[in-house]
Amino acid sequence: MQLNRIVTHSIENLVAGDAAFESSPVTVLRAMTKRLHWNLMTVLVISSACVSFAGEAKFQGRTVEEWLPGLSSPAPEAKQKAQAAIRLAGTNALPTLLRLIQSKDRLGVATAPNAPAASRLRTQAISGFEVLGIRALAAIPRLEELLLSGDLPFPVAVALTKIGPEGLMPLTRAMTSENDKVRSAAGAALDSLDSRATPFVAHLLKLCAENDKRLKIPAIKALGRIGQNPDESLPVLGKLLEDPDSEVRLAAVAAIGGYGATAKSHVASLIRLAKSADPATREAARAAAWRVDPMLAGQAGIPNPVRQTSVTGGKD
């Protein structure tokens, strides 16, 4: 029954996902071919799990689930061995990872002594997806289904970010969900991106052009934390300093500050906003100006937020 649902879901994704895509016939055909490839991979992975779940395969003498704890080992050698084993398993690891990402502690049900808590199993599954990276693409449709269900959405959303930029599309759709938990989980997953997430920049820049600020603001914030690809990112963020929405402007100010001295071409705009009548914008622009170009910020008479904090002891 689960396999039938996944097959149906995959076919619906193939049809619905490309029906709304307006482009040339060649582009549409390429997109449909790629989507069909992903969905067929998903069906094969999950069907394999349904057939062989009882006898899980072993890699270098252990099952995938037995290797996963080693990914967080403090011993470099043990960690490297676990990573190598998961990579060796490849797509064969996906059924186990998809099962563990849904782990729950069942109230009133006795567990074996020393059994790992469900939260630890979910964390191990996320680590497994991170090791596999783009080799886990086939799991994306099922992860999106789990995310949109609203059941344990946060670990699923984080797992999608570990797979690669392709995992951002389900998160984008989730950020407009009517379910508060799903929206919050998708936003929090984007909040977890950092400087290692350079491959995500291109997709995040597309989100910055969206009219829906539920998509735009998390993308802006993520760009500031990543702080990479300034030639592509900073022109977009600079334009957003003039956005009519104050929340968007505030996010853009903070994001530009995240680029530090690389964003010196925008310091004049930050200095202007540092004199804004809006307290939130003013304070954020002061901090960003000092991060980007402290000399010009000081010459413009912009108070140093760090110095003010130290003088007042952190009190307003």
Question: Taking 80 as the threshold, does the pLDDT of residue 70 lie above it?
Answer: yes
Instruction: Give this prediction's pTM.
Output: 0.69
pLDDT at 196: 80
Q: Determine which helix (DSSP H) or strand (DSSP E) holds 47, and give its type and residue range.
A: helix 25-52
Contact 156/122 with Cβ under 8 angstroms?
Answer: no
54 or 227: which leads in pLDDT: 227
Share of the chain above pLDDT 70, in %: 76
Instruction: Tell me what the pLDDT averaged over the chain comes to.
Output: 81
Distance, in Å, from the CA atom of 258 to the CA atom of 246, rounded to the nearest integer, reads: 19
Q: Is the four-CA dihedral 260, 202, 42, 175 of positive or negative sign?
A: positive
pLDDT tens digit string along 140-178? Answer: 999 999 999 999 999 999 999 999 889 989 998 998 899
Three-class SS state of 261: helix
For tokens 């530090």, the residue is 260
Q: How far is CA 313 from CA 15, 279, 294, 302, 306, in A?
A: 59, 20, 22, 19, 10
Q: What is the CATH number of domain 196-316?
A: 1.25.10.10
Where are the domains positioned within the chain?
A: 1-104+116-192, 196-316
Q: How far is CA 257 from CA 91, 117, 233, 273, in A?
A: 40, 40, 12, 13
Please give the structure tokens belonging to residue 223.
């760009």
pLDDT at 58: 83
Distance, in Å, from the CA atom of 21 to the CA atom of 61, rounded to the nearest integer, reads: 47
Mean pLDDT, residues 69-88 taken together = 95
Mean pLDDT, residues 126-149 taken together = 96
For every residue of 233-256, DSSP letters joined together read HHHHHHHHTT-SSHHHHHHHHHHH
Question: Taking 50 as the threshold, does the pLDDT of residue 22 lie above it?
Answer: no
Question: Taking 60 as the threshold, does the pLDDT of residue 18 lie above it?
Answer: no
pLDDT at 115: 57
Mean pLDDT, residues 237-257 taken together = 95
